[in-house]
């Protein structure tokens, strides 16, 4: 799909600091006079936030993996139609905390539904939209989980065991390595917030003018 805006997604395992960094990037871009929108998945619209509540609530431990796959996609289909695609068409910079690659990693690779099937669903949900840039905030699993614990905001997937989070990290690293569209940049998120912020800005500044 042809768009005029610029889509940046933030990806990575738990505790990589995506949420902090996305706000910092928004502020920098806004200072440059860009029209910026910040979103998160699952969520970002009234309907998608309701789906988020169902899919991430620790109360719903009994959710089937297939239901999980489809709920993440349902939330995605809604946010792309309601906000992402119209914003890109209007020339805005759209920053999303997780998008299609989270489904590839968590549901496709780690849960085992397969990358191809999930990408087909992603294409339906996003109307075949790929990010212009994907920043992988790569943090070692132990520190990531510790940060998450300290923030006190663990969701249903955070409660999976360490081997789950190890698989998530490796799957992301592999996707970035296999990247044929050259849209992935790996950021070392083990560093301080300011250092990560500077590393992100170095990448984004060159791409957005």
CB of 55 to ligand TYD, least distance (A): 7
* Piece in contact with ligand TYD (CB under 6 A), picked from 34-42, 130-138, 179-187, 190-198: 34-42
Of 24 and 34, which has the nearer Cβ to ligand TYD? Answer: 24
Regarding beta strands 184-188 and 93-97, do their DSSP bridges make them parallel or antiparallel, or are they unpaired? unpaired
Per rule CB under 6 A, is residue 155 in the interface with ligand TYD? yes
Instruction: Tell which one of 88, 93, 98, 171 touches ligand TYD (CB under 6 A).
Output: 98
Per rule CB under 6 A, is residue 54 in the interface with ligand TYD? no
- Binning the chain into helix, strand and coil, the percentages to the nearest 5 are 55, 15, 30
Q: How many residues bind ligand TYD (CB under 6 A)?
A: 17
Q: Nearest-CA neighbor of 126 among 93, 157, 103, 92?
A: 103
Q: List, in order, residues 6 or more apart from 47 with CB less than 8 Å away.
A: 75, 78, 82
Using CA atoms, how far apart are residues 61 and 110, in angstroms rounded to an integer? 17
* Piece in contact with ligand TYD (CB under 6 A), picked from 35-43, 169-177, 183-191, 195-203: 35-43
Instruction: Tell which one of 56, 145, 187, 199 touches ligand TYD (CB under 6 A).
Output: 56
Q: Strands, DSSP E only, in 45-165? A: 93-97, 133-138
> If DSSP codes are grouped into helix, strand and coil, which group holds residue 50?
helix
CB of 140 to ligand TYD, least distance (A): 15
Of 34 and 119, which has the nearer Cβ to ligand TYD? Answer: 119
Integer-rounded Cα Rg, in Å, for the chain is 16
Contacts with ligand TYD, residue ranges (CB under 6 A): 14, 18-19, 40-42, 56, 72, 97-98, 102-103, 106-107, 155, 157-158
């Amino acid at each position: 799909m042809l768009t005029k805006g610029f889509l940046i997604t933030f990806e990575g395992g738990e505790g990589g600091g995506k949420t902090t960094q996305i706000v910092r990037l928004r502020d920098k871009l806004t200072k440059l006079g860009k029209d910026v929108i910040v979103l998160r998945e699952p969520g970002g619209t009234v309907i998608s936030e309701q789906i988020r509540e169902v899919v991430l609530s620790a109360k719903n431990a009994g959710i089937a993996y297939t239901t999980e796959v489809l709920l993440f996609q349902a939330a995605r289909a809604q946010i792309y139609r309601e906000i992402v695609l119209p914003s890109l068409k209007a020339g805005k910079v759209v920053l999303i905390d997780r998008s299609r690659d989270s489904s590839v990693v968590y549901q496709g690779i780690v849960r085992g539904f397969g990358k191809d099937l999930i990408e087909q669903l992603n294409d339906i949900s996003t109307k075949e939209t790929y990010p212009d840039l994907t920043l992988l905030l790569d943090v070692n699993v132990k520190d990531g989980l510790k940060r998450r614990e300290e923030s006190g905001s663990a969701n249903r997937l955070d409660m999976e065991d360490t081997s789950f989070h190890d698989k998530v990290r490796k799957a992301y690293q592999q996707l970035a390595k296999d990247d044929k569209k050259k849209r992935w940049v790996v950021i070392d998120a083990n560093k301080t917030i300011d250092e990560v912020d500077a590393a992100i800005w170095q990448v984004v500044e060159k791409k957005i003018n």
